[in-house]
Amino acid sequence: MSAPRAPSTTPSLVADCGSCFALCCVLLPFQAASGFGIDKPGGTPCPHLATDDRCSIHSTLREDGWPGCSVFECFGAGQQVSQVTYGAVSWREQDNLPEMAAVLSVMRLLHEMLAHLGEVGRRTPAGDAAALETEIVHLTAASPTELLSVDLDDLQRRVGGVLDAAAARLRTGPPGPSYRHEDLAGRDLRRWMLRDADLRGALLIRADLRGQDLGRTDLLGADLRDADLRGADLRDVLFLGQPQLNGARGDALTSVPGHLRRPGHW
C-alpha cells in the first residue's frame, strides 16, 4: 500500500460512520461499567455489529444499556484511518488489528487537537496556533509506522501551551478562579462564581451546574459525565468537546456553542 499523501486542508473532524469500517466497534475495548453494556476486549467485534458495518441497535442505544456509544466521538478519526491511513482496506481483510487500534487512538488525539486549534483560529487567530495546526494536519496523512512514532506527549504539551495563550487573549477582564484538575464530582456549583474560571481537567461527574453562566470558562478535558447543565449558558466556553457535551445532562434551555451539536437525548 502506498503512503498517503499529505492533505492541503484539515480533514473532517466530525464522525462519518458511513465512511468508516466500524473501527470503534471492533478495535476498542468496552467496559460495562462505562456504559457499554458488556465487557469486550479490543480487536473483538461488538455483538451488535452487522455484516454491513452498521450498529443493529443504533436507534435504541440508551434504552438498551449502551449510553457509552452515544457519548463516544472519534472527531472523524475513524474515516481518516479507514479511507486514508489504510487506503479503504477494511479490518476484515487484514491481520493487523492491534496496529490499527493503536493508529486509531493516535489519530483520534490528533483530530481532537485539531478541533481545539480550529477554535483558536476562529476566535483568536495566532501564528503559532496556525503553524501547529498545519503540522498536525500533515501528520493525519502519515503512514501507520509514522503515526505510531509521533511523540504525543510533546505534541500535547505544545498544543496545551497554545490553548493557554488563547484563553488569556480571549478573556477581556481578570481571570476567574482556577479549579484545574480538582475533584468537584457531585458538588452543587450553582452559586459558585465560575465565569471565566479554569476548569481544565476538573472532575465534574454529576456536578450541579444548573443555570450557570460559564462565560469563557476553560473546560478542556473536564469530565462532565452526568453533570447537570440544564439551563446553563455554554455559548462562550473554551475548548469544550462533543464527547463532553454528549455525556452531560441538559435541556432545551441549555445554550450550546455554535460549533457543537445539541445531544439528541437532552
Residue 23 has a pLDDT of 97
Does a structural domain hold residue 44?
yes
* 171, 151 contact by CB (below 8 A): no
pLDDT at 128: 96
pLDDT of amino acid 8: 58
Helix axes 152-170, 127-139, angle to 10 degrees: 150
Last residue of a domain, one of 118, 150, 169: 169
162 and 201 inside one domain: no
Paired strand residues for 213: 233
Query: How many C-beta atoms surround the C-beta of residue 155 within 10 A?
Result: 18
- Domain extent at residue 146: 17-169
Both 159 and 209 in a single domain?
no
Residues whose CB is less than 8 angstroms from the CB of residue 114 and which lie 6 or more positions away in sequence, other chains included: 10, 11, 13, 75, 133, 136, 137, 140
Considering the domain boundaries, does residue 217 fall inside one?
A: yes
Same domain, 142 and 51: yes
Structure confidence at residue 2 (pLDDT): 45
244 and 164, same structural domain?
Answer: no
Task: Identify whether residues 134 and 52 lie together within a single domain.
Answer: yes
The predicted-structure confidence for 149-173, as pLDDT tens digits, reads as follows: 999 999 999 999 999 999 999 998 8
Residue 1 domain flag: no
Question: What was the pLDDT predicted at 4?
Answer: 54
Other Cβ atoms within 10 Å of 75 Cβ, number: 23
What proportion of the chain, given as a percentage, has pLDDT over 90? 93
β-strand partners of 178: 198
Amino acid letter at 169?
R
Give the chain's mean pLDDT: 94
Residue burial 212-232, b: 16+ Cβ < 10 Å; e: rest: bebbbbbbbbbbbbebbbbbb
Residue 8 in any domain: the answer is no
DSSP conformation class of 173: S
Based on the structure, what is the number of domains in the chain?
2
CATH code of the domain in which 252 resides: 2.160.20.80
pTM: 0.91
pLDDT at 257 > cutoff 80: yes
189 and 132 together in one domain? no
Task: Give the distance, in angstroms, between the CA of residue 80 and the centroid of all CA atoms in the same chain.
Answer: 15
118 & 136 share domain? yes
Q: Domain ends where: 151, 169, 187? A: 169
Does residue 263 lie within any of the structural domains? no
In this structure, are residues 142 and 4 in contact, taking their beta carbons and an 8 Å threshold?
yes
Q: Is residue 24 a contact partner of residue 125, using CB atoms and an 8 Å limit?
A: no
Cα separation, 179 vs 223, whole angstroms: 13
